[in-house]
Amino acid sequence: MNRYLDIAVNLLGSSLEQRLDEVITDAQAVGVSPLILIGSELDESARCIELCQQYPKQLYTTAGVHPHHASSWQPESEARLRQMCQSDSVVAVGECGLDFNRNYSTPAEQRRAFTAQLALAVELQRPVLMHERDAHADFIAILAEYRSDLPAALLHCFTGDIAQAESYLALDLYLGVTGWVCDERRGHALAEAVTVIPENRLLLETDSPYLLPRTLKPKPKSSKNEPKYLPHIANHVAQLRGQSAETLATQCYNNSLKFFGLE
């Protein structure tokens, strides 16, 4: 059986949280373990850490502030996040970045929180897991100031085209690919872009419970994505790249272990 590591699971506050044991067991049954939970703000990050401690080696988490929640970043936030990052359960700073699509937080607030978290990741020499939507130029400009001092950096849920992929790869980023690539309506650009991502920079994720692969048959009654569907995404990506499913799965699994320091 191929092995996989789901690098992005939005567990807390989702339908998955109520079925956690089942979600973990179903994923393990198809080779998907461990799972990386996403901390999108500091209270949630703290709760993720507590949950990971109940499921050692099965769950790990990021800790950080998503751009949607950037307005919550206060002077004391840095010290609190620094303390969280001391936990063995925390494998990356984030999810941080920029999202100018809806601007739940102002662009200025987003830039402030993003910059602060990048600086902390540099200080602690921790990898950073990032989000970007409709903010490509600003994101690149800010990240470029810190990239050379970061041990590793990942843009998760990458949905862009070849040109965007190449601009991120020029900064030596890892790129996380979701079931978006299986969407015949809006995934064409990503389907092309996955062919240019170097094998040592490609990671796989479900971004559960979002982005259920449209090519999944039969479609789950819940219409919710789960880590157990990661092999389906992997097989689709392998086909697009002209690789065997086993080769792709092994490479992405090893990339994930290396990025999160779980080797």
The answer to whether 131 is a known ligand-binding residue is: yes
For residue 222, what pLDDT is reported? 82
225 and 207 in contact (C-beta within 8 Å)? yes
pLDDT tens digits for range 87-143: 999 999 999 999 999 899 999 999 999 999 999 999 999 999 999 999 999 999 999
Question: What gap in Å lies between CA 202 and CA 256, rounded to an integer?
Answer: 9
pTM comes to 0.96
Question: What gap in Å lies between CA 99 and CA 107, rounded to an integer?
Answer: 8
The answer to whether 207 is a known ligand-binding residue is: yes
Question: With pLDDT > 70 as the criterion, what percentage of the chain qualifies?
Answer: 100
Q: Which SS3 state, helix, strand or coil, does residue 146 take? A: helix
For residue 37, what pLDDT is reported? 98
Buried b (16+ CB within 10 A) or exposed e, 159-181: bbeeebbeebbeeebbbbbbbbb
For residue 206, what pLDDT is reported? 97
For residue 85, what pLDDT is reported? 97
Per-residue pLDDT of the chain (263 residues; tens, 9 = 90+): 899 999 999 999 888 999 999 999 999 999 999 999 999 999 999 999 999 999 999 999 999 999 999 999 998 999 999 999 999 999 999 999 999 998 999 999 999 999 999 999 999 999 999 999 999 999 999 999 999 999 999 999 999 999 999 999 999 999 999 999 998 887 789 999 999 999 999 999 999 999 899 988 888 888 899 999 999 999 999 999 999 999 999 999 999 999 999 98
Distance of CA 227 to the CA centre of its chain: 13
| Sign of the torsion formed by the C-alpha atoms of 58, 62, 168 and 263 | negative
Provide the H-helix boundaries in 14-135.
20-29, 42-54, 77-84, 107-124
Provide the H-helix boundaries in the chain.
20-29, 42-54, 77-84, 107-124, 136-146, 162-169, 188-193, 230-241, 245-260
Distance of CA 155 to the CA centre of its chain: 7
Domains of the chain: 4-260 (3.20.20.140)
For residue 218, what pLDDT is reported? 86
227 and 35 in contact (C-beta within 8 Å)? yes
For residue 15, what pLDDT is reported? 84
